[in-house]
Structure 1
Amino acid sequence: MNMNMQKMNMMLLDMIQHWDPFGYGSDAYETEAVDVLQAVHEYDEIRPLAEKIQAIYEFSFEEVIPFEKCVKMAEQLLKAKNEVECGF
């Protein structure tokens, strides 16, 4: 893995970990953050990524994040990913 990819993953992971959709504190979502990071690399479109994000958190916490919140997060993550990739 090259340095740019590593930096991108660190930045994305940081964004994901600071997202606190249930108000449990940002350190409550470590395994979900890693799953979401993987999903960011698998999906290039907002809606499928948002659906995946919603499913990851619902599976872990048995609570549903409103879809609009997942869409906003997916938009931010894909925007950040695309900005870094365009900088290569």
Structure 2
Amino acid sequence: MLKAIIQKEIKDTMNNKYPHAAIPQTVLAKVTKGGDVINLKILDEFENIDNNFAEIPEIKTNTLYEYGDIVVITFLYGKLEMPIVIRKWEGC
């Protein structure tokens, strides 16, 4: 019982004080709406859509991206609502 209480307290503290810790800093994402204002779905390390994250809509970019492109993105201050598209992913 004590273990469960401690785990809950740690989880609550992480969620309330450090929510950015659960968000990856730099990830790949798939363009689900192309143009210079795009929508993205975050990908996992195997380049499959990661359903733990909602689609990120209406990201303004200086580059035109097409539907299906894979891009490298990061999150300013670890906030999902502040994504920055770094570039198109060409693979390793």
Greater RCO, CA 8 A, separation 6+: 1
Q: TM-score, normalised by structure 1?
A: 0.27
Return the index of the structure with the highest Cα Rg.
2
TM-score w.r.t. the length of structure 2 is 0.26
Normalized per residue, the structure richer in strand is 2
